[in-house]
Homo-oligomer: A and B are copies of this chain.
Amino acid sequence: MPEKTGKPDEEQSAESRPRRLQARGQRRVAQLLEAAASVFCSTGYTAASTNAIAREAGVSPGTLYQFFPNKEAIAIELGDRLMHEMRETYGEALAPVDPATPLKEAVGAAVDRFVDFNCQHPVFFALMHGPDIPGRITEEHDALHATLVSRVEALLAGFLPDAPTADLTRTATVCVGMYKAGLELVLAHEGAEREAYVRELKNILFRYLEPLVGDRMAPSGARGDRDPAWGNTP
């Protein structure tokens, strides 16, 4: 629809933005993305209306469509920017794990990184876990998910070279699933309680993996040195 008459000058397919964004335009785009993040966060993707996003940004619906060809493109641009910032902040390989680090610290560091990012960008969780989101976002989410799983799988393979691949994949999938569930709990609380849930998430993952990895990675000798169970302040 956005393409006009069938003239042979084929620019980029269906680009609705002007060829060059002025400073004002870039400001508008940022403004609109911020508003979209807010609306997506509070109502989810499908329930968010483009008119509501425009209103939140203080512009008219027409202005919104001056910069985005459709509603999906807003979510995609938002997702792309978040993804980019994530990779930029935490390196190209998400949460690279050195096989020499003790399991406890590896888990703790990975959890801290991702929790930090999600706490600073709550819309990321909303976009990646909404059950209604459109195609492109789902692709990005699936890609991220696969990356996470295969990375955890690789870490586990270093500890368990003899384990069947199917078991490794399953364990990695479980880890990522538990991380997501824990992240939801973390984001649902604030302050000290949030920190407590972060600790519990680390406990979950560590205790799940510890018997698989074995004593090789246990920080001290006997397994009897039980964790303080409640409220071990890091």
Interface residues, chain A, CB within 8 Å of chain B? 44, 46-47, 130-132, 163-164, 166-167, 170-171, 173-174, 177-178, 180-182, 184-185, 193, 196-197, 200-201, 203-204, 207-208, 210-212, 223-224, 226-227, 229-231
A170 touches B182 (CB 8 A): no
Q: Which residues of B contact A229 (CB under 8 A)?
A: 211-212
B170 touches A177 (CB 8 A): no
Q: Is the interface of A mostly helix, strand, loop or mixed?
A: helix
Q: Which residues of B contact A196 (CB under 8 A)?
A: 167, 170
Q: Please tell me which one of the listed residues B46, B184, B201 contacts residue A46 in the complex, with CB atoms under 8 A apart.
A: B46
B132 touches A200 (CB 8 A): no
What is the bound-complex CA distance between A174 and B117, given in angstroms? 21
Q: Which residue of B lies closest to A203 (CB)?
A: B208
Q: Which residues of B contact A226 (CB under 8 A)?
A: 211
Q: Please tell me which one of the listed residues B46, B184, B197 contacts residue A170 in the complex, with CB atoms under 8 A apart.
A: B197
A-B CB proximity, top 10 nearest: A181-B181, A207-B207, A177-B181, A174-B200, A167-B230, A177-B185, A204-B208, A212-B229, A211-B226, A207-B208
B200 touches A207 (CB 8 A): no
Q: Which residue of B lies closest to A170 (CB)?
A: B196
Q: Which residue of B lies closest to A213 (CB)?
A: B229
Task: Report A157 CB to chain B, min CB distance, Å.
Answer: 13
Q: Please tell me which one of the listed residues B44, B171, B185 contacts residue A174 in the complex, with CB atoms under 8 A apart.
A: B185
What is the bound-complex CA distance between A207 and B226, given in angstroms? 13
Q: Which residues of B contact A164 (CB under 8 A)?
A: 230
Task: Report A166 CB to chain B, min CB distance, Å.
Answer: 8
Task: Report A221 CB to chain B, min CB distance, Å.
Answer: 13
Q: Which residues of B contact A210 (CB under 8 A)?
A: 207
Interface centre among A47, A180, A182, A200 (most CB of B within 10 A): A200
Q: Please tell me which one of the listed residues B130, B171, B193, B200 contacts residue A200 in the complex, with CB atoms under 8 A apart.
A: B171
Sample (25) of A-B pairs whose CB atoms are under 8 Å apart: A46-B46, A46-B47, A47-B132, A130-B131, A131-B131, A131-B132, A132-B132, A164-B230, A166-B193, A167-B230, A167-B231, A171-B200, A173-B185, A174-B200, A174-B201, A174-B204, A178-B178, A178-B181, A203-B208, A207-B207, A207-B210, A211-B227, A211-B229, A212-B229, A223-B223
